[in-house]
Amino acid sequence: MSETLYSLDFESSVLGAILFNPLVLADVAEIISKDDFYSRDNSQIFKAMSDLASKGEPIDDKFITKELGVGVAQNALNDALSSSGVIDVIKYARHLKELAAKRRLLAVAQSVPQIISEKPLNDALDELSAKLYAISGGEKNTSYKTALEAATLAAAEILRRKAEGTGLLGISTGFGELD
């Protein structure tokens, strides 16, 4: 795989930014998913972060290690912890998304000879069109989220509001303690 199609430094920086400020996870999760990481270890760490957020657990190295198991992805976690603070993590996440799309496009391009040799022309065109459409994001309507994605985003938003001390999420009951 060409080194221009992935950046372990960017992946570590995104994970590090989340570790230093877990509140950015919600914004990052709107752009990338665990499947957008080239490194399997980084992908596992990102998934663990999302799982921890959905459970309302702290997103830190101790809980990530607990979630993944001792030794699993430990070097990648150390790389994330030692990365410098990323100021604009959204730009980094978008860059990772672009690199992931390029890797997927390369995989489709490599599958073209097999698809066209095994299928009738129209079927081959349909399959390749569907794969390209999926890469371009056409299959993903960002207004719809899976239950896990919605819960992760909601948990991160609640934690952000709690940390900032800003406003109630929902309608007040009139009883401050209950709210």
Where exactly are the structural domains of the chain? 3-164
Mean pLDDT on 52-68: 93
Whether 76 and 39 have beta carbons less than 8 Å apart is answered as yes
Give backbone dihedrals phi and psi of 75, rounded to 5 degrees, phi first. -65, -40
Cβ neighbours for 9, distance < 8 A, ≥ 6 positions apart: 83
Query: Would you say residue 54 has pLDDT above 80?
Result: yes
pLDDT for 15-27, tens place per residue?
999 999 999 999 9
CATH node for 3-164: 1.10.860.10
Mean pLDDT on 121-135: 89
